[in-house]
Amino acid sequence: MQYRTLGRTDIKVSLICLGTMTWGSQNSEAEAHAQLDYAIAQGVTFIDTAEAYPVTPVSRETQGRTEEYIGSWIAKRGKRDDIILATKVAGPSREPVRQFRGGNNRLDRRNIEQAIDDSLQRLRTDYVDLYQLHWPDRPVPSFGARGLAQIADAPEVVPIEETLDALAGLIKSGKVRHIGVSNETPWGVSEYLRLARDQGLPRIASIQNAYNLLNRTFEIGLSEFALREDVGLLAYSPLAGGNLTGKYLGGVIPPGSRRDVAKQFVRYDLPGQATASALCRHRPCPWPRSGADGARLCEQPRLRDREHHRSDFHGAAEGRHRQRGHHPAARGHCGDRSGASRGSRSLPMRDSRWGFKAPVRPSPPPAFRAR
């Protein structure tokens, strides 16, 4: 396992972050605990969740259950200081089924303070290492949408300065160590950095956005902020929600898959999907395969070798993907969902820094003291 420093903090995170958004819907509590045990055994120290999880599907009855499963694992195993724990506060509800705090959730002080207290109770801990804003309070293109044709802020949109000031209070109280954003735009990142500099408010350490062969919008404007300002990318959907495995080609929706149980995940139905999936499935692979239906992680371009990259998120809804080699930790190659060989000629993500590397599995370093 490899580890990287998160932004300008003193936190080191594993190159793989264990994603959890299926726990409580597609995964039982026992399966969640098994995934946590397995990930920790492989050197994974970074765990990401959210108050909105699970989202496969989105359900008011299950939201918050993922944090409860992590909390029961922490209480049972007693390994809180062995992990870097990240969670998120939800922005304004975008659909009726997703309601928080009576349905009037904004990124204001009242909501943020209640949200962190509720998350800490579910997680059975008194602090989180990274607290993220799941999506902005203002309307922006996110979750697959692109382009902003006009400013459509409602009167109740919470100013970023108010949000950041509320987060500063959480850090001062000891409930949160560091903060980050998610599904954010270049303007939003620049505003958070400006306010931190001008007002003496906390600095964001990370941005959690999608990054994969079908969505490289991060490279257009956000990558420069990440590089110049040390706001590290936490890349979610490295396999484009499973689309890069090829299992959805031809309109096929396998029973029990994400697209089957959560109808909202259509953001990667794009013209380039078939080509990208074919590249991912048919390149020569230096790693042993264990099944035809799993994600061939080693055949993905080496997105993690980008300088702005800090960690990428992987989860497995089915235990067979974790135990039989489809989960990146099982491969023992540092979350490498990439790995174009030196002989690759047509992979669009390739540059001079990318190429095949042999796997390295050193003994995990001593547990990070998270206080």
- Structure-token pair, residue 126: 């008194």
Q: How many residues does the chain have?
A: 371
157-202 pLDDT, tens digit per residue, is: 999 999 999 999 999 999 999 999 999 999 999 999 999 999 999 9
How is the chain split into domains, by residue range?
Answer: 3-243+303-331
Mean pLDDT, residues 106-127 taken together: 97
| Residue 358 backbone phi and psi in degrees, to 5 | -70, 150
pTM score of the predicted model: 0.79
The helix-helix angle for 29-41 and 65-77 (nearest 10°) equals 60
Say what the pLDDT of residue 32 is: 97
Say what the pLDDT of residue 242 is: 86
316-357 pLDDT, tens digit per residue, is: 676 555 554 444 433 332 222 222 222 222 223 332 222 222
Q: Does domain 3-243+303-331 have CATH number 3.90.190.20?
A: no
Mean pLDDT, residues 261-276 taken together: 73
Give the residue numbers marked as catalytic.
53
Mean pLDDT, residues 53-70 taken together: 94
pLDDT at 297 over 70: no
- Which residues have a Cβ under 8 Å from the Cβ of 340 and sit 6 or more positions away? 283, 299, 300, 301, 302, 347, 349, 350, 354, 355, 356
pLDDT at 300 over 80: no
Beta strands in the chain (DSSP E): 3-5, 12-14, 16-18, 46-48, 84-89, 128-133, 176-182, 204-210, 232-236, 309-314
273-286 pLDDT, tens digit per residue, is: 667 666 665 554 43
